[in-house]
Each structure stands twice: as C-alpha cells, then as structure tokens.
Structure 1
Amino acid sequence: MSAREGEVVMEVVYSRCAGLDVHKKTVVACAITPKPSGGCHKEIQTFGTMTSDLLQLSDWLTARECTHVAMESTGEYWRPIFNILEANFEVLLVNAHHIKNVPGRKTDTKDAQWIGELLMHGLLRASFIPPIEQRDLRDLIRHRTNFIRERATLVNRVQKVLEGANIKLAAVVSDVMGVSARMILDAIVKGETNPQLMAELASKRLKDKREPLIQALDGKVRPHQRFILAELLCNIDAIDETIERFNQQIKEYCSPFEQAVELLDTIPGVARPTAELIVGEIGTDMSRFPTAEHLAAWAGVAPGNCESAGKRLSSKIRKGNNNLRVGLVQAAHAATRTKGYLAVQYRRIAARRGKKRAIIAVAHSILKIAYYLILRQETYQDLGGDHFDKQKPEATKKRLVKRLQKLGYEVLLTELQTASPTLA
C-alpha cells in the first residue's frame, strides 16, 4: 500500500471478484468489477439457495467475469454453494472470526460488500478444502464416528438399567457388551432369574470369577426393565451392523490412500480406524504444511503462542480440527499402555505437568510422526523406552544413584570394560 496526500491506497490483488453472505435460504452476492474510468463498480444481488438458484448465481458471476469468490464458513450452509461454484471459480472459504465487520454496520448487503472488498485487496486467508476424494472419505469417517458415539451412549443406558435392577455386572466384567456378558443379558431379557444358571454362561477367563459373578447377578429385574433392555440391545445390534457397513465402504474409499493408512497403522496406539481418520482429515499431500509444527497447530494439539511485553502468557491449546484432535487423544491414551517411546514420554511429562498436558503432548508427537511417515513414505521406528536415558546418561546416573542413597544404600559405581575383539 502507498500513502498520497494523507490517503491510504491499498493494492488491488483481484480486480474481478465477489463476496457472498450466506444464509439458510438466501445468498447475498456483491460483485466488484473495475470501471473504465478508474475505481471499481459494486453490484449486489440476492439469490436463493436451491440448486437452480445457485446455478443462476454462477451464471451471474460468470457474466461479470469474476475469478475469485469468498464466503464465510457458516455452519453447513456453505457446502451446496461451494459444490456449484468450485468448478468455475477460485472459491475461498474463510473463518468468520477473521472478517468481522465494523461495529454498527451489520446488514447482509454490507457484509457481502465487506467480504468482497477484503478479497479484492488480498486480505483474506482461505481455509483448507480438501480434494473431492478426500472429502468423501472424510464424510464417511465422521459419520462412522457419530454412530460409534451413539453406540457408546446406548451401552451407558444399558448399564443404567442394570444398576436400577440391582445387577452389578459391570463390577465383575470389563465390557458389559462382551461375548459372555451379552449372553447373560440375553438370558435376563428372556426372563431368567437364577444367578447360578446365568453364571454358567461365562466363558474363558470369566469362569474364574464365578462366585463374584453370582453375587453380581443377584438382583430384582422388573418386567418393564426387561423390555427396556431388549429395545436397547436391539438398537445396539442395528448400530453394530451399520458400523460394519461403514467399515466396508470406508475401506473401498481408502484404496487411493491405502499406503498411507498402512504406514500410520505402525504407530503405537494408532489402529486402522484412527489411521483412516488421520488420512481423511489431513490427506497425503504434506506440501501445504511447511513443517510438522504447522500441522500440529492446525489440528489444535500445539501449545498456544501468547506473549506480551516479554512475558509468556497462557499456553492453552488453540482451536483446530476437533475431529482430528479427538482421534489423536484416543490414540495417545492407547499409546500410554505400550512399552515404547510414547509411553515413557507420557510418564515423564505427567509427573511434572499433569496427565492432561501429557496426553496432549503424546497426541502432538503422534501427529508429528504421522507427518514424517507420510512425507518420507517409511514405517515407524520406535526410539525405545530408554531413549531419554541415552540422551543424558550422566544425569540419568546421578538421578538413580541419588534414589538409592535415599533408600539407605552406599553406591559405588564401576564402569564395565568392553572386551576388545581378538584376531584369529
């Protein structure tokens, strides 16, 4: 930009562009085009959101030779507009927080005009919209996740009904929907009341808990509770079938990304469903992320960057891709139960900073590992549980000696001599 006679003149980046203010039933478009005599001409038009209306919007923008179109990411209402316009225009989906209008000028017309002016001067940063193949895969994975959450809700309701009937099954079994537990639940639904007979349905290791199981099944199940259990179990079976169909469909849509999914599956704590989730959210093209730290910040698993007057303020994680963050946190919890580098990292950080920060740190590490595995096309190589000890051997030695001394031992260290190979 340049200043002339006290006036600030901003550089025009896109001479023919448009801003859209999107709502459920209407779209207000402001097309900005150059005038032959200089300056710009702004034309505003309102369209509906039906497909035929959006096609008219596309023709209207094409007639004015617009090349770039910007709109806010308003709920799900931007999707049909993006589907129609993406083939003919460079569409920018921008964060509404970044383009707040001047206070006191809140109208649909001025919003569309403001978005168009910001776009014309190149002041908008577009959100990432993945290619159509990745969008399809991502939609399938997100809906599968929703069904998995619904199933968990139904299982909790089953547990609530059992507690109301004095059945303490969850106190003995680890999974109330496991094979043995499910056979017991089916027996309860059919009217069985004898705890000894129901305990005989236990299999494998649950047979060793026969006496506690008999006590847990000694309850008072009323007829209406049997009816509720039957309906809940029926819904759970239906959702299980739906999830399985989603798994088959996702496997088909994952074929272009199969190599990346297999690479991510080698990370401790990351099973195939989580690997599919990561690939569906970030894709396989890492060129749009300059570094792994940029990816972590985009996903919302990196510490916040807030500093003022030389003081470091809150380091709370920023908002990011919530679906990806939830999947990474679940993978981090699973990784803490392994014996490798990630589990040791969790224990080290949890001892100093707490469990919640430690889980986010492990999730951060998992995403960085995924970035490099996809970028380099290689499998995961664990650094080992003793990686941190090898980094600073002297500090490790002093710490262990100090712990033994506190226990009342006198420690004398003798370094082992490595035998030199003999020549035959």
Structure 2
Amino acid sequence: MGKVTTGDHPDLKMVNPSAAAIDIGSTMHMAAVNPSATDTPVRAFGTFTRDLHDLADWFRSCGVTSVAMESTGVYWIPAFEILEQHGFKVILVNARYAKNVPGRKTDVSDAGWLRQLHSYGLLRGSFRPEAEIATLRAYMRQRERLVEYAAAHIQHMQKALMEMNLQVHHVVSDITGATGMRIIRAIVAGERDPDVLASFRDTRCHSSVETIRAALVGNDRAEHIFALTQSLELYDTYQTMMKDCDHKLEAAIATLTVKASGAIAALPKARMKGKQVNAPSFDVRAALHGVIGVDLTQIHGLGPSLALKLIAECGTDLKAWSSAKHFTSWLCLAPGTKISGGKLLSSRTRRSSSRAAALLRLAAVTLGRSDTALGAFYRRLSARAGKQKAVTATARKIAVLFYNALRFGMTYNDPGAAAYDERHRTRVLANLHRRAQSLGYILSPTPKAEAVS
C-alpha cells in the first residue's frame, strides 16, 4: 500500500505527533499513524487476538503513545483492552463528533482523518470507568439480562395457567409470590384438587380461600401442564443464576477502593422498609455505604438497587466531571444551548441512550405522588409544562443530588412538599411585588372576608 496522507493545515498546531487512530470494523480494523513515522502510515489488521497484538507491536515500532478509536458496537472492546494492556493511552470517540465531514467515506480516509484530528488535539475521549467499576458494571448488566429472561418465563407460566383457565393472577397480586409459587409447584407436582391447592394460601394474601378455590377449577390438558413445567424449571434456573451473579456482585463491591476519607459515619436508618422486587440477595445499602461513606438511598427516588446500578454506570467518585453541570450535560438532562446570532434557537435536551440517564428518569417517575420536595416540584412542573419535561427536570435534580453526595459527601435532608410549596409561593410573591413596583404600583393582600355566623 502506498503512502497515504490526509492533508496538512499549517494554521493548526500539532500537539500530539505520536497519535494514532483506528477505524473499527467487525472483520477488519484500519489503523493510521503519523506519515513521517513509516512508509505505510495506514494498514489493515484483522480482528483475531493475534492480529490485535500485532497491531500493538506495529504502533510501538512507529513510536505511538496515544490511540483514538470509535465506539462501534462492541467491536472496539477487544482492541481497547489489548492496547491498554500494552501500555497505550486509548481514548474512545463518539463517531458523531469525529466523522461529520463530507468526502471522507472510505476506511482508509476515515482512519487518517481520525488520526489527524487526534494529533491536533481536537478529539475528546468518552467516559470510560476504572477497571474495578467496569467489572462491577459487567456483572450488573449480566444480572439485568437474567432478570429480563426470568420475567419472560413468568409470562409463559401465566399463559399456560390461562390456557388451563386457572386464573391465579386474578386472585393473587404476584404469581411469583408465596401463594402463587406454592400453587404452581403443586400443580406441576400433579395436584389437581382445588381445595388442596387453595390451602396453600399465605396468611398475607388478601383473597379468601373460597375465592382462590373458585379460580383454581380449570381444564387440565397435558400439553399445558408440560409448558407450565418447563417454564417453571427455566424460571428456577434463572433464579439460581441470579444468586450466583449476586455473589460476584458482592465480591466486586468488596474489592472497590474506599472513597470515604477518615472514619465512616454510622449507617443511617433505612428510609424504606421491606425488600424490593428482584433486588440482590445481599445488603446492597450497607455494602455501598462501606465504600462511598454516604447513604445514597436517603435521596428520594433512589433505592438500593437503583443506587447500585448508578454506581456501576458512573463510578464512585465522579471526578471525571468537574461540576454537577458537566455531569448533567453528559447525561443529556441539561437544557440545550443552540444559539445563532445571539438568539437562542432551541433549548431541547439531546437524545441519549445513557443507561444512567434512563435510571434517573425512572427514579423521577416514582416521585410523582410522593409527599416530598422533589415530588412537589415534579407535580408543579408537570401541570405547567407536561409530564415529559417534568420527568427530565426532576431527573436532573436527582442527578445533582447524586453528584454532590458522591463527590463531596453531601447528606440530603428532604424539607417536604409543604416547605417546597411555601418557598415557591414566597418566590412568586416577591416576583409579583418587584414587577408591580417597576410599573408604579404597590401590591397589598386582600382582607379576609368576615365569617358568617
């Protein structure tokens, strides 16, 4: 392959002449280095592990110290990890910001253009957590997949029961609860007597024995029993896998570097009682408190499981973002600033596929009916601007609280919905008084009407 150049720009100063870049592909990676380092500055490499080690050796022979690559699917992960193992500084780049240039549509020119941008210092790497957080995140995402797979088999069990006209889901709130699972396991074991099946009712079940018995008179067919049996076995299998994953999660949290400085304060009283559905089998709240030194569940909307997912996505210190504004902007929860000619054209938030942002939006939705300051803020904004904007704005507030708690150890104390409403009323009155004075008027309160006897 002949010598390939990407053009020079004398008005730009090269800040990283030892930069390289890779155009990531599924079967081939196109790598580019400084044209002054070799006669073939652009080379193609396969995606096998041996090829990636050869790529690292070629980079070292060319004097490369820093490598930029695009986040293409999951194909970048092996190359990223192997290059890091060889001691290179690797940054991950969003292709939307690196290749939005017309006329550069081939793999060769893409790699060269990416290298040139990197050599001029025009690329900014995406957030990549530390190795211990990446391990925790991998286990957490695997557990989420297991939960989804188990949920699918819950639906299969419910379908099989409906086909037999055993309407268990109408008399129990959750067929995977104590009453539902006892009944399902008895049916799979061969029990058909409605009286016997109804006797498996848990004392906490709201439906009476008679109601449950009436719902368990069905039409038994062998093929439906077979489907129910296999769905139950698969559900139990995924439950076992989730427990194994929980052990890995607990061990991964135990290996995290303790971020709290000095003595860690005692774990405060739990804000929520009871265990959440599909929560890990160990005490997540206590495990996280021992690492970060603060109780994230004191922030309304964040339960132990949700807090663990956020830690797995963002890390334990958040030093990658210099301020809460930078953090919320990365999450695409901050208003946009599309300005032209000094005029704001749009303040819409950018679309995002961030898992952390989706978790924070989920937390915001749960606050809709809560008697909290965040709940009052959500309801006020929802009535004025709509639920979609209210969810985004509330998620941003939770993100700021999450950032301050992790970065600075802030403890959140909820003032309550009444205090928030009163503070909002005071602020509105102050604005009205100021506007009235600017127009030459003075506002005065309306006297209360006398009571009628």
- Aligned partners of 2:17 and 2:80: how far apart in 1? 21
Within 1, Cα distance between the matches of 2:64 and 2:191?
72
Is contact 1:24-1:77 (8 Å) kept? Answer: yes
Does the C-alpha gap of structure 1 residues 47 and 354 become closer, same or farther in structure 2, counting only changes over 3 Å?
Answer: same
The answer on whether the counterparts of 1:69 and 1:91 sit within 8 Å (CA) in structure 2 is yes
Alignment partner for residue 318 of structure 1, among 327, 351, 358?
351
Residue type of the alignment partner of 1:272: P
The match for 2:56 is 58
Deviation of residue 204 (structure 1)? 1.9
Residues 230-245 of structure 1 aligned to structure 2 (within 5 Å): 230-245=229-244
SS in 2 for 1:69: strand
1:194-213 paired onto structure 2 within 5 Å: 194-206=193-205, 208-213=207-212
CA offsets, 1:147-196, max 9 Å, x none? 11112222122222223332322222221110111111122223433333
Partner of 1:282: 314
Letter in 1 for 2:418: D
Paired residue type of 1:318: R
Q: 1:155 to 1:208 in 2, by over 3 A?
A: closer
SS of the aligned residue for 2:330 comes to helix
Structure 2 distance, partners of 1:215, 1:208, is 11
TM-score (norm 2): 0.78
Give the drift of 1:34.
4.2
Which residue of the partner structure matches residue 224 of structure 1? 223
Partner Cα separation in structure 2 for residue 199 and residue 261 of structure 1: 48
Match 2:329 to one of 286, 297, 302: 297
Which consecutive residues of structure 2, in runs of 5 or more, have no partner in the other structure?
1-8, 259-287, 430-446
- Deviation string 1:23-52 (CA, Å, 9 cap, x unpaired) is 2232211111548xxxx9761222222222
**Percent identity over paired residues:** 32
* One-letter amino acid of the structure 2 residue matched with residue 199 of structure 1: A
1:156 equivalent in structure 2: 155
Q: 1:412 to 1:254 in 2, by over 3 A?
A: farther
- Which amino acid is the alignment partner of residue 289 of structure 1? W
In the alignment, structure 1 residue 269 sits paired with structure 2 residue 307: no
Residue 224 of structure 1 deviates from its aligned partner by 1.0
Among 359, 366, 372, the alignment partner of 1:327 is 359
More displaced stretch, 127-136 vs 282-291: 282-291
> How far apart, in 1, do the equivalents of 2:391 and 2:164 lie?
37
Identify the structure with the greater helix proportion: 1
Call closer, same or farther: CA 1:76–1:205 in 2, change over 3 Å: same
Contact 2:332 2:349 in 1 (8 A): no
* The 10-residue stretch of structure 1 (299-308 or 228-237) with the greater mean CA deviation from structure 2: 299-308
Separation in 1 of the partners of 2:448 and 2:184? 59
Cα distance, 1:222–1:365 mapped onto 2, change above 3 Å: farther
Kindly state the Cα deviation for residue 316 of structure 1 after the two structures are TM-superposed: 4.7
Kept in 2, the 8 Å contact 1:263–1:374? The answer is no
How much has 1:347 moved relative to structure 2? Answer: 2.7
What is the identity, as a one-letter code, of the residue corresponding to 1:64?
C
State how far apart, in whole Å, the 2-side matches of 1:95 and 1:339 are: 41
Candidates 34, 43, 46, aligned match of 1:45: 43
* Equivalent position to 2:401, from 343, 363, 369: 369
Rate the CA distance shift 1:101–1:374 in 2: closer, same or farther, 3 A.
Answer: closer
Say if 1:263 and 1:378, in contact at 8 Å, map to a contact too.
no
Instruction: State the shift of 1:282 in Å.
Output: 1.1
Q: Deviations over 1:269-307 (max 9, x none)?
A: 322221111111111233321322321222233444445
Q: Provide the residue aligned with 1:179 in structure 2.
A: 178
Give deviations 1:42-94, integer Å, cap 9, x for gaps: 61222222222222211211111112211111111111111121242221210
> Could you say if the C-alpha distance between residues 231 and 333 of structure 1 is closer, same or farther in structure 2, counting changes exceeding 3 Å?
farther
Q: Distance in 1 between matches of 2:384 and 2:120?
A: 48
Rounded to whole Å, the distance in 1 between the matches of 2:359 and 2:94 is 23
Which letter does structure 1 place at the counterpart of 2:318? M
Please state whether the residue corresponding to 2:144 is helix, strand or coil: helix
- Measured after TM superposition, the shift of residue 97 of structure 1 is 1.2
1:344 aligned to which of 353, 376, 379: 376
Q: Which amino acid aligns with 2:413?
A: Q
**Match of residue 168 from structure 1:** 167
Say whether 1:127 aligns with 2:159: no
Q: Is the partner of 1:349 in helix, strand or coil?
A: helix
In 2, distance between residues paired with 1:85 and 1:413? 81
CA distance in 2, matches of 1:195, 1:187: 11
Contact 2:360/2:399 (<8 A) preserved: yes
Once the 2 structures are TM-superposed, how far is the Cα of residue 101 of structure 1 from its aligned partner? 5.8
Aligned residues: 391
Tell me: CA distance 1:304–1:9, structure 2 relative to 1, closer, same or farther (3 Å): closer
- 1:315 aligns to what SS in structure 2? coil
Provide the residue aligned with 1:417 in structure 2. Answer: none
Q: Kindly tell me: are residues 187 and 349 of structure 1, through their superposed partners in 2, closer, same or farther at Cα, counting changes over 3 Å?
A: farther
1:67 corresponds to: 65
Hey, what does 2:422 align to over in structure 1?
390
Structure 1 residues 105, 311: closer, same or farther in 2, change over 3 A? closer
Q: Aligned pair in 2 of structure 1 residues 217, 27: CA closer, same or farther (>3 Å)?
A: same
Q: In 2, Cα distance between the equivalents of 1:214 and 1:261?
A: 51
Label 1:78 to 1:250 Cα distance change in 2 as closer, same or farther (>3 A): same
Q: Answer yes or no: is the 8 Å Cα contact 2:333–2:349 preserved in 1.
A: no
Superposed CA deviations along residues 316-356 of structure 1, whole A, max 9, x for unmatched, are 542141x2233323333444454322333333333333444
| Contact 2:364 2:394 (C-alpha < 8 Å) held by counterparts | yes
C-alpha root-mean-square deviation of aligned residues, in Å?
2.8
Q: Structure 1 residues 292, 209: closer, same or farther in 2, change over 3 A?
A: farther
> Retained in 1: the 8 A contact 2:337–2:344?
no
1:275 and 1:413, CA in 2 relative to 1: closer, same or farther beyond 3 A?
Answer: farther
Asked whether the 8 Å contact 2:376–2:421 carries over to 1, the reply is no
